A and B are shown apart, each in its own frame.
Chain A
Amino acid sequence: MSALTTSRAAGPSSDATARYERGNVLFVLGCLVCGTVVLGPIGAVILLVGIRMMRRAQHAGATIRPWTLTLIAGLILVDSSVNYLAWGIDVLWSHDTLIGRSFFVNYGHIGDGAYLVFHNANHLGGTYLGGEKAISIVMLAVIFPMRIAAAWGLLQMKRWGLRWSIIANWLYFAIWVAYAANMALSFPIRFGLSDYGVLGWFLMAFLPFMGPIIELPYLHTVNKDDFLE
């Protein structure tokens, strides 16, 4: 029996456990809604309500998942949700909408000129750079759906969630290296044309990409026996 399933003498009230479950649902929902950017403020409120409910449930006697694990899985969820939507807007027809076009052209102003010039100019729409579009497709179709599903399994403390979180984060790290190289190789267009250059890109797109550097050491050193098959 794992450390997380050991029974203790005095049981918590079912109310506390139910409150924890509700808080957990709101936490996941808040993380995903935050990633929509447009509904970001609403997502932040949902997320904070979920955390508050989980804390109250903890004080009421429910034994809960480690907060570090909640934090790591939440970070994966918000990061994946933000990126999934952003890359999705670039690849799919939503890059033609007012909000999609404004989001990406303004992003081009902030940090990456590849979204500023010739935006929606070729047959695929979105960014005109082939290398960037290839990364968009792999992010949308492979890595972020995988990361979101893995983070859900991780929050459930399932063994598959731990395994797939490790796999998906390594994939993300590999693409992160390719993405950074791709940016650097087109430096004059991408950083040079934007208003804030490297600083703007660093603040807006580089920091979120650093998630795996924090998550992988945790995922590799956590005791897998604490996760259920």
Chain B
Amino acid sequence: MPQQSGSAHESETSVAVPFRTLHKILAAIAAIFFVYLIVESTVLLPFMLMRFGWQ
């Protein structure tokens, strides 16, 4: 993986200024979806089995 050496620093991709705002919005939505998927994959099967039982 390409990495910088240096002080504590998060690499930033060099995007045009309008896209930085877009990327922040997309990152926020992606974070919500990411958490949603993690929670879904964690609780889905137990919920199904409690609600409908084994088939």
Q: Which residues of A contact B (CB under 8 A)?
A: 2-12, 17, 20-21, 24, 34-38, 40-41, 43-44, 47, 58-69, 71-72, 74-75, 78-79, 82, 98, 101-103, 105-107, 109-110, 155-157, 204, 207-208, 210-211, 214-215, 217-218, 221-223, 225-226, 228
A221 to B12, CA, bound (A): 13
Known: A41-B42, A71-B34, A107-B48. A58 touches B10 (CB 8 A): yes
Cβ 8 A contact of B54, one of A59, A69, A102: A102
What is the interface size of chain B, counting residues whose CB is below 8 A from a CB of the partner?
43
Interface residues of B in 31-54 (CB under 8 A from A): 31, 33-34, 36-38, 40-45, 48-49, 51-54
Given contacts A4-B3, A110-B48, 11 further A-B contacts (CB under 8 A): A5-B2, A7-B6, A21-B1, A34-B37, A62-B8, A63-B9, A68-B23, A71-B34, A208-B37, A210-B33, A221-B23
A208 to B40, CA, bound (A): 10
User: Number of contacts between A and B (CB, 8 Å)?
Assistant: 179
Known: A3-B13, A66-B11. A61 touches B48 (CB 8 A): no
Most B CB contacts (10 A, CB to CB) among A10, A24, A58, A218 go to: A218
Mostly helix, strand, loop or mixed at chain A's interface?
A: helix
A59 to B3, CA, bound (A): 15
